Amino acid sequence: MATIKDVAAQAGVSVASVSRAINDPSSVAPLTLERINSVIRKTSFAPNKLARSLKVQTSKSVAVIVPDISNPFHLKIIKGAEAVLSAAGYTLFIMDTEENAEKELRNLRDLLDRQIDGLVYIPVLTNQRLPRVLAEARIPLVVVDRSLGEDHDTVLSDNFGGISLLLSHLAEKGNRRVALIGGPETSRLGRERNEAYRVLVRKYHLEDNPHLVRSGEFTIEAGFRLARELIDENLAPEAVLATANLLGIGALKAFRELGFKVPQDLELVVFDEMGDLVDPPITHVRQQAYEMGAQATRFLLERLQGQPGSPRTVLFEPLLYLSSQNKT
């Protein structure tokens, strides 16, 4: 006898879509519904009444999906979410997409098969809109760190404010030739932080030189490569701002290999949580990751309890942390 997974596979949809076609047909697009029903008729699939009754009940489970579980920023978001969920009696599922759109899609389908009630969601950088599988599932979700438009509750950091803190600090120390090692322009996150730098170098009367601006993926490898480019091309920056912790780690590795002492020979500042990733610590702005995870989860629980209203966006201000060499 065919199973619900067999029907989903033959119809080319998720198990969650088949479940909705059975339990709530009006929530499924007409063409998708007809395709599912056609497969059901061909396979003689007979939904178990007990299973159907269970599927419409809450599972008391919520998932947090992140792009890199080894990143301290994402770990703190998970911890903030877990604290709120545990107090509310919910089970937490955690999935790591490794910034890979295909893996994210597999993870989302797996989570929906588990009948989760809601999702705290940091999408991969290549996503500019909600994945179709989530749109079809229609479960409550809150987007964190990366915006997918104005249709969802969203919790973000103030990217402009964080870059401003770092450039203001460098300007106050007398640096004028400040290079940027930024994230990809194809992502909202990378684009916002890079654009903030371009605007603020003029505000703080720093050298406005497009050759000082480098961008790549949010990886250690990209940070290393871009830092080497700055030095190999003899651009001689007095300071470098990296717009993510992994970029900062890569840049620091490159500078040390080239014989630069940081911050004595060349100052490096980073947008993002550094934690114990480097020793000695370097100046950075720390996002309020734990609080962001907790707030996102509170929003999600309110939606799960049926609270109506327009989508909300909350912006958290980053906090400046000086290295011991920079403290006075």
Assign domain 159-287 one CATH number from 1.20.58.1030, 3.40.50.2300, 3.40.920.10, 2.60.120.200.
Answer: 3.40.50.2300
Domain ranges (residues) in the chain: 4-55, 61-157+289-316, 159-287
CATH code linked to domain 4-55: 1.10.260.40
Q: What is the pLDDT of residue 248?
A: 94
* Fold match flag (61-157+289-316 vs 159-287): yes
Q: Is the pLDDT of residue 175 over 90?
A: yes
Q: What is the pLDDT of residue 325?
A: 61
Share of the chain above pLDDT 90, in %: 59
Q: What is the pLDDT of residue 326?
A: 60
Alpha carbon distance 285, 275 (integer Å): 11
Alpha carbon distance 155, 317 (integer Å): 11
Q: What is the pLDDT of residue 54?
A: 44
Give tens-digit pLDDT for 226-254.
999 999 999 989 999 999 999 999 999 99
Q: Provide the pLDDT confidence category of residue 58 given band limits of 50, 70 and 90.
A: low
Assign domain 61-157+289-316 one CATH number from 3.90.1110.10, 1.10.3210.10, 3.40.50.2300, 1.10.10.10.
Answer: 3.40.50.2300
Phi-psi region of 321 (alpha: psi -120 to 50; beta: other; left: phi over 0): beta
Helices (H), the chain: 4-11, 15-23, 30-43, 49-55, 72-87, 101-113, 132-137, 159-172, 188-203, 220-232, 245-257, 289-304
For the chain, the average pLDDT equals 88
Give tens-digit pLDDT for 90-128.
999 999 999 898 999 999 988 888 889 999 999 988 767
Share of the chain above pLDDT 70, in %: 91
DSSP conformational letter for 165: H
Give tens-digit pLDDT for 123-154.
988 767 788 888 888 899 999 998 888 889 99
